[in-house]
Amino acid sequence: MASNLLKNIIKLDTRVSVSQNVCLPIRCLSTASPRVKDKTGKNIVFVDGVRTPFLLSGTDYAPLMPHQLAKEALIGLMRKTNVPREVVDYIVYGTVIQEVKTSNIGREAALAAGFPHSVPAHTVTMACISSNQGITTGIGLIAAGAYDVIVAGGVEFMSDVPIRHSRKMRSLLLRANKAKTPLDKLKLLSTFRPNFLLPELPAVAEFSSGETMGFSADRLAASFKVSREEQDQYAVRSHTMAKEAQDKGYLTDIVPFRLPNSSKVIEKDNGIRVSPIDKLAKLKAAFVKPHGTVTAANSSFLTDGASACLIMTEEKAKQLGLKPKLYLRDFTYVAQDPIDQLLLGPTYATPKVLEKAGLSVKDIDVWEVHEAFAGQILANLKAMDSDWFAQKYMNRQSKVGVPDLSKWNNWGGSLSIGHPFAATGVRLTVHTANRLVREDGQFGLIAACAAGGQGVGMIVERHPDATAL
């Protein structure tokens, strides 16, 4: 049952690792399997993806602007794939908390990265699945025949978020701008009150419910009887696996970032910290105080970072002499109750995308699921293992089923690597691609929850030419 599965997920010695140069012939040939239909008629492929190192907000990236991070991700992608910028037809880029000076950050980053002025770009936002949306929007543009080569990605910069004047102050300033006479200005000045000067910070709460996501995670963990100990154990697992992947050189999606006007080069994520479980146990509740179970250590942290990836038709990739990593086979977006089921996107998306692709839970060789909170991950696993939940809430006769946890987030996840909201989707996808090679798998499933009670599920298939570099 679920309790035993939760014990198994913290075992760190069950992973199978395959050298990057090893590829078993039978499995490699099977990547062309007709089991999953190509619905576009174009065999759309994920060529490769990159990201800047993900850093805790307020650290080395703090003096920058978000478009600078996005620019470096775009430049890094073009360098790694050796594709001329002129070949790119369109750019779809994600961000969640926008810098007001660069509202269409996809366009501004593309111009800064040296893309031709003739390459259009637009910016998407769908909370934590924004760069997933960038990828799937690109799939749609290619499938429709509009373009052949798409760059998708995302950036988040939590070191400097827009802080506004209060609405009353904004109104006063706008009216003052229209005042024509000194008397009009004096009349407006007389309406000013000191509380107008109170700043308006970006909301950390769900607009529809007024709850912070951490509060929702605490309630979700309580609903599924996920203990504090289980959450802390999962957090240790995430950091341990991320550190191992980092030490072994598996995180090849990272492109080094040289800080402007400095000789310092950032080469790795700085949020990965393996701590003893007893140290985590001493931390106080972060949201529901004093008895909540969600803490700073078992939650993802505010992160700065950017990502970018290249997708196109398989035919175009062959013309350009590229070796893709994945076939992008299927995807779905879901939405559910944003109050009680805010973070259950993976539970709802997984069966839908599997059924669309004609696969089952057992067919998935690599799982990459966004870790917003340890409690969120464990609650999803329990929901997927519950016939009652499936019948009551999902209109299903039986449970989704629990993934093979030895194939689950084996290089850590957002809890340890970091979570720059709009950049995470590409990170999940390229880690899936590289893990499929190293672990000799065929199919990967990517899933994530997002603010507003939404979620995504994607099915990808290893390409015969894929490498983990």
Helix and strand numbers (H, E) in the chain are 16, 12
Q: From CA 57, how far away is CA 40, in angstroms rounded?
A: 40
Residue 348 φ/ψ, nearest 5 degrees: -75, -35
DSSP characters over 149-207: EEEEEEEE-TTS---BPPHHHHHHHHHHHH--SHHHHHHHHTT--GGGGS-BPPP-B-T
Q: What angle do CA 202, 332, 430 make, to 5 degrees?
A: 75
Q: From CA 288, how far away is CA 95, in angstroms rounded?
A: 29
Type of residue found at 351: P
Q: From CA 249, how far away is CA 54, in angstroms rounded?
A: 16
CA distance from start to end of the chain: 38
**Active-site residue among 23, 28, 309, 449?**
449
Are the beta carbons of 35 and 359 closer than 8 angstroms? yes
Q: Which residue has the tokens 């080569």?
A: 149
Give the Cβ contact number of residue 368 at 10 Å: 26
Q: Which residue has the tokens 């996501």?
A: 213
**Active-site residue among 23, 28, 128, 309?**
128
289: Cβ contacts below 8 Å, ≥ 6 apart: none
Q: From CA 216, how far away is CA 287, in angstroms rounded?
A: 9
Q: Which tokens belong to 65?
A: 């602007």
128 catalytic, yes or no?
yes
449 catalytic, yes or no?
yes
Name the residues annotated as catalytic: 128, 449
